[in-house]
Amino acid sequence: MTTDAWDARFDDFWDGVELDDPTGARARLEALLAERGIGDARASYERGSLHDSLGEEDAAIPLYRAALADGLSDDLRTQATIQLASSLRNVGDASGAIALLRAVPASDPLHDAAQAFLALALHSDEKPTEALALALRTLAPHLPRYRRAVDAYAGELVKLDRVRVIAVGLLVRDGSVLLESYPANARHGEFLRAPGGGISFGEPAAVAVRREFAEELDATIDDARLLAVTENIFDTSSGRGHEIVHVFAVASAGLAALPADERIAVRDSHTTVGWYEIAALRAGSLPVYPAGILDLLP
């Protein structure tokens, strides 16, 4: 049977699938895949899609990853990427979703759909203003009128004034500390921040710092010890900021093995992390935030 013929068979399955009967749906899909007789990327994708449709995101995620890694055809790759990102957001990994969706090129026919899911992921990642601006910019070209006005207003949105509670981790090795570098641009010079991020409602700070390292750096924290809770109030070119910062001394065998001259890309950002000599930082080599964090280093 040709690829087009199998596409039609899969379309028929999805048109008629009864999601209120999970056992029957699984049996129908497995029968179809058995008839096709190929345990390939397409099979992983279809199984992942069914798990996803049944609300079983934890089971869908590894199947989507396998489909993409095993060479899923180009006509399905973006669909798999969007569905994987959506599943990641639903299980709490908004950063992973953001990284995947930002990689979908503007030339892709599903780019606008990817942008819609990116807006959802940004909102889940506590970036509501960026999420709204993206949604409006994506919608604007499709409006019968006021396209230019909506696009312009989207660009003028500013972050809401709020107190943000975050958890960051300080990993020290041989007189150096692992920090995240924000490269210079037209608004600011290069600066450094301790890795970490926002604490979710109801989430203990010690859990948050472990989650942030896992989401942003794919790293496991072996130990986290609270050093201090500090307050950071600042002004930037994009607005004012106010943070309550839980600062942890962290241990991570995986990150500690990172060579001094190598860097790790942060998953949902243009930033990277690497080692910086503490003595040079104290001498003023680069600004380090949150303010006062160098005083907590040995």
Output 76 or 186, whichever has higher pLDDT: 76
Angle between helices 41-53 and 3-16 (to 10 degrees): 10
Residue in the structure block whose two tokens are 């596409």: 7
For the entire predicted model, the pTM comes to 0.76
Share of the chain above pLDDT 90, in %: 85
Confidence at 4, pLDDT banded by 50, 70, 90: confident
Residue range 20-71, pLDDT digits in tens: 999 999 999 999 999 998 889 999 999 999 999 999 999 999 999 999 999 9
State the Cα–Cα distance between residues 216 and 242, nearest whole angstrom.
Answer: 22
Tell how far CA 56 is from the center of its chain: 20
Residue range 66-90, pLDDT digits in tens: 999 999 999 999 999 999 999 999 9
Domains plus CATH for the chain? 3-126 (1.25.40.10), 163-296 (3.90.79.10)
Looking only at the bridges linking them, the beta strands covering 196-198 and 288-289 are: unpaired
Looking only at the bridges linking them, the beta strands covering 163-170 and 239-251 are: parallel
State the Cα–Cα distance between residues 268 and 246, nearest whole angstrom.
Answer: 22
